[in-house]
Amino acid sequence: MTKIRSTYTRWLENLTVGLLLLTIFNVFIDVVLRYVFNNSSIALQEIEWHLFSTLFLLGISYTLQSDAHVRVDIFYANLTQKKQALINITGFVIFILPISLLVAYYGIDYSFNAFEISEISGDPGGLTHRFIIKSVIPLSFILVIISGFIFAHDNYKNLKGENT
């Protein structure tokens, strides 16, 4: 399990860092085109928000996997490790899992509909194949579910006293 977790975490990390670098490069090219060459591209601007959206959506599972997500630490930090583990498992079962399952389920239909109608950008010169960015939604929440199970498993081991 540790090797799978490590490989999965490294893959998520590489993916999010790669998307961040692509986003930075894309914004740099867009700024140079706009302010140096007085030229702009609608497609390039749309790629910016597509990359940012993908970075954000896939980054959710990475932050959960790395236990770097936001929580209210005013009470949590003062609890024992076992109580923290219980809160983490409960939060996964009550909040993360049901919401992620719903978004993944409805996101698949949402992206498939975009594929069926060959949805494209409404802007002239915009991107085609809008289903690609829409398919990142269910994919990201499937990855959140996977990360959540790994996170819950690690917390279960802490709860049982088998520190990872």
Q: Domain locations in the chain?
A: 2-159
Choose among 109, 115, 145, 139: nearest CA to 129.
Answer: 115
d(CA 117, CA 132): 13
d(CA 46, CA 50): 6
d(CA 44, CA 33): 10
Regarding pTM above 0.75, the answer is yes
Q: What confidence score (pLDDT) does residue 21 get? A: 94
Measure the N-to-C terminal CA separation of the chain; round to a whole number of Å: 11
d(CA 114, CA 18): 26
Instruction: Give the residue, 135 or 40, on which the prediction is more confident.
Output: 135
Place of tokens 């236990």: 67
Residue 44 corresponds to which amino acid?
L
* Token representation of residue 47: 């790629």
**CB count in 10 Å sphere of residue 99:** 12
- Does residue 77 surpass a pLDDT of 70? yes
* Token representation of residue 155: 């917390």
- Does residue 68 surpass a pLDDT of 80? no
Instruction: Give the residue, 4 or 156, on which the prediction is more confident.
Output: 156
DSSP state of 40: -
Mean pLDDT of 114-139: 85
Q: How confident is the model at residue 1 (pLDDT cuts 50, 70, 90)?
A: low
163: helix, coil or strand?
coil
d(CA 103, CA 8): 22
Q: What confidence score (pLDDT) does residue 163 get? A: 65
Mean pLDDT of 69-76: 73
HSE-up of residue 100 (Cα within 13 Å, Cβ side): 23
Residue 31, classified by CB atoms within 10 Å of its CB into exposed (0-12), middle (13-18) or buried (19+), is exposed
